[in-house]
Amino acid sequence: MIETRKITAEDLVENPVIAAMSEYNHEQLLFCNDNATGLKAIIAVHNTTLGPALGGTRMWMYNNEIEALNDVLRLSRGMTYKNSISGLNLGGGKAVIIGDSKTMKSEALFRRFGKFVNSLAGKYITAEDVGISPLDMTWVNMETDHVAGLPGKSGDPSPITALGTYVGMKACAKKQFGNDSLAGKKVAVQGVGHVGEYLVKHLCEENAEVYISDIDQDLLKRVSNEHGAKVVGLDEIYDIDMDIYAPCALGATVNDDTLSRLKCSIIAGSANNQLADEVKHGQAVLDKGMIYAPDFVVNAGGVINVYAEVTNNTPAWALQKAEGIYDTVHQIIQRSSDENTPAYAIANKIAEERIEAVGKVKLPF
Ligand code: NAD
């Protein structure tokens, strides 16, 4: 997804934090500290042109503050692009809590964090991300209404994320093979966790020939038995004869090594940051005649689900919106081939164009 230059310790010696923010035009950073609860967090609001900045809170044991700062700057900017290209009236934001999610959680810490979220008065809406559970969010919700992804509300985003990935894959198939049927196509799904398994289900139901890998052997066996997918090795997955590679586990699996091995003509999966180096590998994929469905476009089902919750839209609306990922991907890959420009760059451009256009609408009379 969007490449963001990493801020180094040297940068921060020479340039204070505002310079780091101005590199990608972040609007606001809120540093949160509370000795009593042990809360150390950063909330980043990247851009609110389209609406309040929505993005999850990640709890992670960062090695240092620079790592946390880089992560929150990069992730919040990514949310601006994802929300924009998905046609949502949302800006981009993200929060990171610095700490071990296994040992440092408490009601008090999350309520204190909720007070900080509330102090932004709706400019930032939080939700779950890595290391955060629905229970944690109920604590945050005790102090602020600006929370989504609560238990009993929009629920598990994975099925709708898988649906978006599946229809995005079909749009790529239409361009590459002349029709969007995946029947008989060899699809390799890396990672059969929450999203991967639902994707496998769609593919098997359409009679695709599905190959799966996962580090969790029990899960792998169950998914294979339940849906009729064939198991392949963790490294073997890059070498098998396949039409479509669907990364649904890790980032950066499209890299120098794997690109010399992958025989597919489509890459479409739910994992974030699939291109190890966006510029280099985005171009390499294009040069090889492969179609790449930009990750932040096809995996937007989750945020669409959350958006439905905050705007009181129905689950049916969210499903229909996620199905629209087909048309968005179609538009991107058509422009990518017309302009001979990598798909990720076209997706970025479309997201930026919408922000610019809507920014004009929002000018005061
Ligand atoms: P998950 O943790 O449920 O599943 C990931 C699976 O990948 C796990 O089963 C894990 O064992 C497996 N895995 C880890 N390393 C692997 C490797 N080297 N090879 C093969 N498998 C490996 O996560 P998820 O919610 O299914 O999300 C999958 C991806 O999609 C992640 O990159 C996530 O950031 C992204 N994503 C998810 C959502 C969502 O709605 N859940 C939304 C947007 C993006």
Residue 293: the pLDDT is 98
Measured between alpha carbons, how far is 246 from 30 in angstroms, rounded to an integer? 36
pLDDT grade, residue 16 (50/70/90)? confident
94 is catalytic: yes
Query: Residues 42-89: pLDDT tens digits?
Result: 999 999 999 999 999 999 999 999 999 999 999 999 999 999 999 999
Q: Is the CB of 195 under 6 A from ligand 1?
A: yes
> Is 269 one of the annotated binding-site residues?
no
Residue 155: the pLDDT is 76
Query: Residues 304-357: pLDDT tens digits?
Result: 999 999 999 999 999 999 999 999 999 999 999 999 999 999 999 999 999 999
Residue 3 has pLDDT above 70, yes or no: no
DSSP 145: S
Contact 173, 185 (CB under 8 A): yes
Residue 18: the pLDDT is 87
Q: Is the CB of 213 under 6 A from ligand 1?
A: yes
Nearest CA to ligand 1 atom 1: 193
Residue 10 has pLDDT above 80, yes or no: no
Whole-number Å distance, alpha carbon 159 to ligand 1 midpoint, is 13
At 304, give phi and psi (nearest 5°): -65, -40
Residue 6 has pLDDT above 80, yes or no: no
DSSP 229: P
Strands (E), 283-332: 291-292
Ordered by start, the domain boundaries in the chain are: 9-79+91-141, 158-352
Nearest to 56, CA basis, from 317, 306, 347, 296: 306
Atom of ligand 1 nearest to the CA of 130: 34
Q: Which CATH class is domain 158-352?
A: alpha beta
Atom of ligand 1 nearest to the CA of 197: 26
Residue 250: the pLDDT is 87
Measured between alpha carbons, how far is 265 from 285 in angstroms, rounded to an integer? 9
Which CATH architecture does the domain made up of 9-79+91-141 adopt? 3-Layer(aba) Sandwich (3.40)
Q: Is the CB of 302 under 6 A from ligand 1?
A: yes
> Is 195 one of the annotated binding-site residues?
yes
Measured between alpha carbons, how far is 271 from 251 in angstroms, rounded to an integer? 6
DSSP 265: S
Question: How confident is the model over 206-219, as a mean pLDDT?
Answer: 98
Q: Is the CB of 248 under 6 A from ligand 1?
A: yes
Residue 153: the pLDDT is 84
pTM of the model: 0.92
Measured between alpha carbons, how far is 361 from 365 in angstroms, rounded to an integer? 10
Whole-number Å distance, alpha carbon 192 to ligand 1 midpoint, is 7
Nearest to 173, CA basis, from 259, 242, 231, 230: 242
% of the chain with per-residue pLDDT over 90: 87
Q: Which helix (H) or strand (E) holds 34?
A: strand 28-34
Question: How confident is the model over 199-223, as a mean pLDDT?
Answer: 98
Atom of ligand 1 nearest to the CA of 295: 44
CA 227 → CA 20, 202, 220, 222, 261, distances in Å? Answer: 47, 9, 11, 8, 27
Residue 312: the pLDDT is 92
CA 317 → CA 115, 205, 304, 350, distances in Å? Answer: 32, 23, 9, 23
Q: Is the CB of 342 under 6 A from ligand 1?
A: no
9-79+91-141 and 158-352 agree in CATH topology: yes
